[in-house]
């Protein structure tokens, strides 16, 4: 008998499903299956791979309601957020169905003459993919789709909080025509052992990880033992800057998305609001009104806009961060209402947050918005950049040149200008500093699963 683990709804604590708990033996078996499927999949014509990926996109949209319900049940996010995630996740399959057939290379002559150089891109091999719980469909799709497009086969370990969505995607991929063995999903409560076994397996040539910086660092150390090609999407601490002449209504609309989507549990979530003194009163009042109007509740309530946080540990961490900020001199300006039970944290706006406060340097990963007032641009930028992270940033300004000037000086991989969202399957997603290595999505995304191969040819 295989042992199982429970998957729970974070809004109610109820067990939704029991899932087989993958062991190290299962993990090795999964790599062996992926390795056996690799030559056939890599040799499948790009057009055939592309058609299958395109079919995955269509099937995800066909099943959008079922997938959205599953995401919101195991992750807790509102049904509106879950539906948006399904569409976003499906788009990775469509985008990479298009990239699959754009295999490009080059031909050149050596400067000294005679020798010709042919450059091509080949699949890296079996890829190990590790995903978090905050976007159970999108984080899997963003890795699996480019890997399959490139001709790689994969082993995937979803987060133990949210394995059901990944398993549902697995069924969709089989239905779409992905051959058995090309995608192997191993839910487990033994993440360190399973992933270590993958990194030690001589057929694994690639790791793509999305999760916390601490775990990413540990996996990079392990990847060093066998020089495994590594892509890392790690933590963020996005500043959200509002200038004196920004459109405040637009900034509030963007702030609501950047802060409260998925209860603030996104690595691109706005973590710190830097609002110019000239507009801080207007912004605070309008942001506060919007926050007080938010409906917080379980995803079973179709009107709910903000769901629970993922775990009691997350709830305790957010509570402690807010308490520490208050001890540092911050004040709660607005705080929404929450249901009587479940892992809910009320949407909260903090003001009077001093530049050095702990809450400005740590990833909050919850529905709390610390607001800092600024007048001096260079002091504001110094504070915005005073973090080990560099994933995303946001700037709202009346004049595009101001937005771009400020955007240029924030050390991040992605800047939202006059919008509260940066993620797009067609745009390279990734960070600088300790937010990661590599890019996902876009043209760059498929490259993460390819090696460059050169033929140096003397055909004189």
Catalytic residue list: 233, 267
429 has which bridge partners?
440
159 touching ligand ADP, by CB under 6 A = yes
Q: By the 8 A CB rule, do 241 and 395 touch?
A: yes
130 touching ligand ADP, by CB under 6 A = yes
- Interface residues for ligand ADP in 24-83 (CB under 6 A)? none
- Please give the DSSP secondary-structure letter assigned to residue 143: H
273 has which bridge partners?
240, 371
Return the residue nearest ligand ADP (CB atom): 211
- Select from 191, 200, 324, 411 the one that contacts ligand ADP (CB under 6 A): 191
Q: How far is the CB of 211 from ligand ADP (least distance, A)?
A: 3
Number of residues engaging ligand ADP in binding (CB under 6 A): 14
131 touching ligand ADP, by CB under 6 A = yes
Q: What does the alpha-carbon distance between residue 277 and residue 62 come to, in Å, rounded to a whole number?
A: 48
- Select from 16, 24, 218, 253 the one that contacts ligand ADP (CB under 6 A): 218
- Select from 35, 147, 186, 195 the one that contacts ligand ADP (CB under 6 A): 195
Q: By the 8 A CB rule, do 449 and 424 touch?
A: no
Q: How far is the CB of 219 from ligand ADP (least distance, A)?
A: 6
Helical pair 163-176 and 64-75, crossing angle rounded to 10 deg: 160
Binding mask 80-119 for ligand ADP (x = CB under 6 A): ----------------------------------------
440 has which bridge partners?
429
Tell me the HSE value of 450 on the side-chain side, using a 13 A CA sphere: 25
Q: How far is the CB of 395 from ligand ADP (least distance, A)?
A: 26
Q: How far is the CB of 161 from ligand ADP (least distance, A)?
A: 7
Q: What does the alpha-carbon distance between residue 134 and residue 186 come to, in Å, rounded to a whole number?
A: 18
263 touching ligand ADP, by CB under 6 A = no
154 touching ligand ADP, by CB under 6 A = no
200 touching ligand ADP, by CB under 6 A = no
Q: How many CB atoms lie within 10 A of CB 375?
A: 10
237 touching ligand ADP, by CB under 6 A = no
Q: How many CB atoms lie within 10 A of CB 106?
A: 9
Q: How far is the CB of 265 from ligand ADP (least distance, A)?
A: 8
Of 98 and 362, which has the nearer Cβ to ligand ADP? 362
- Select from 22, 123, 125, 132 the one that contacts ligand ADP (CB under 6 A): 132
Q: What does the alpha-carbon distance between residue 90 and residue 58 come to, in Å, rounded to a whole number?
A: 8
Q: What does the alpha-carbon distance between residue 132 and residue 160 come to, in Å, rounded to a whole number?
A: 9
192 touching ligand ADP, by CB under 6 A = yes
Q: By the 8 A CB rule, do 137 and 173 touch?
A: no
Q: Would you say the C-alpha torsion 254, 146, 236, 375 has a positive or negative sign?
A: negative
317 touching ligand ADP, by CB under 6 A = no
Of 39 and 214, which has the nearer Cβ to ligand ADP? 214
211 touching ligand ADP, by CB under 6 A = yes
Q: What is the signed CA dihedral for 396, 399, 400, 401, rounded to 10 degrees?
A: -120
- Select from 11, 67, 204, 215 the one that contacts ligand ADP (CB under 6 A): 215
199 touching ligand ADP, by CB under 6 A = no
Q: How far is the CB of 206 from ligand ADP (least distance, A)?
A: 15
Q: DSSP characters for 224-283?
A: HHTT-EEEEE----EEEEE-TTS-HHHHHHHHHHHHHGGGG-STTSEEEEEEETTTHHHH
Of 235 and 445, which has the nearer Cβ to ligand ADP? 235
Q: How far is the CB of 215 from ligand ADP (least distance, A)?
A: 4
- Please give the DSSP secondary-structure letter assigned to residue 349: E
Query: Residue 90 is inside which H or E element, if any?
Result: helix 79-100
Q: What does the alpha-carbon distance between residue 230 and residue 220 come to, in Å, rounded to a whole number?
A: 7
160 touching ligand ADP, by CB under 6 A = yes
434 touching ligand ADP, by CB under 6 A = no
- Select from 57, 142, 157, 201 the one that contacts ligand ADP (CB under 6 A): 157
212 touching ligand ADP, by CB under 6 A = yes
Q: How far is the CB of 127 from ligand ADP (least distance, A)?
A: 15
Q: What does the alpha-carbon distance between residue 35 and residue 398 come to, in Å, rounded to a whole number?
A: 54
Under the rule (CB under 6 A), what is the footprint of ligand ADP? 130-132, 157, 159-160, 191-192, 195, 211-212, 215, 218-219
């Amino acid at each position: 008998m295989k042992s199982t683990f429970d998957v729970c709804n974070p809004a109610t604590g109820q067990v939704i499903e029991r899932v087989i708990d993958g062991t190290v033996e299962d993990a090795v078996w999964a790599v062996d299956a992926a390795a056996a499927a690799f030559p056939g999949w890599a040799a499948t014509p790009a057009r055939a791979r592309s058609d299958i990926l395109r079919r995955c996109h269509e099937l995800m949209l066909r099943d959008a309601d079922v997938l959205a319900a599953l995401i919101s049940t195991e992750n807790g996010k509102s049904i509106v957020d879950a539906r948006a995630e399904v569409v976003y996740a499906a788009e990775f399959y469509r985008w990479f169905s298009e990239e699959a057939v754009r295999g490009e290379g080059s031909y050149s002559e050596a400067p000294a003459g005679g020798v010709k150089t042919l450059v091509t891109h080949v699949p890296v091999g079996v890829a190990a993919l590790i995903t978090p719980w905050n976007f159970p469909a999108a984080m899997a799709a963003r890795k699996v789709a480019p890997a399959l497009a490139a001709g790689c086969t994969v082993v995937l370990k979803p987060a133990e909080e949210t394995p059901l969505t990944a398993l549902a995607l697995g069924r969709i991929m089989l239905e779409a025509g992905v051959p058995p063995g090309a995608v192997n999903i191993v839910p487990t409560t033994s993440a360190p052992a399973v992933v270590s076994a993958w990194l030690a397996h001589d057929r694994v040539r690639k790791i793509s990880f999305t999760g916390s910086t601490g775990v990413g660092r540990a996996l990079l150390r392990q990847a060093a033992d066998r020089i495994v090609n590594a892509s890392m999407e790690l933590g963020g601490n996005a500043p959200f800057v509002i200038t004196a002449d920004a459109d405040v209504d637009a900034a509030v609309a963007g702030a609501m998305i950047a802060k409260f989507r998925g209860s603030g549990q996104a690595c691109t979530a706005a973590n710190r609001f830097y609002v110019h003194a000239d507009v801080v009163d207007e912004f605070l009042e309008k942001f506060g009104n919007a926050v007080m109007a938010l409906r917080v509740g379980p995803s079973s309530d179709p009107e709910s806009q903000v769901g629970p946080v993922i775990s009691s540990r997350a709830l305790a961490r957010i509570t402690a961060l807010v308490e520490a900020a208050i001890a540092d001199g911050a004040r709660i300006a607005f705080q929404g209402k929450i249901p009587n039970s479940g892992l809910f944290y009320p949407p909260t706006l903090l003001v009077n947050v001093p530049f050095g406060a702990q809450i400005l340097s740590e990833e909050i990963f919850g529905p709390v918005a610390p607001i800092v007032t600024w007048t001096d641009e260079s002091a504001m930028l110094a504070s915005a950049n005073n973090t080990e992270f560099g994933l995303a940033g946001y700037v709202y300004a009346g004049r595009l040149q101001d937005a771009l000037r400020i955007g240029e000086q924030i050390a991040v991989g992605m800047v939202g200008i006059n919008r509260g969202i940066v993620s797009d399957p067609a745009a390279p997603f990734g960070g600088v500093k300790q937010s990661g290595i590599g890019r996902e999505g876009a043209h760059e995304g498929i490259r993460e699963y390819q090696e460059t191969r050169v033929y140096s040819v003397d055909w004189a």
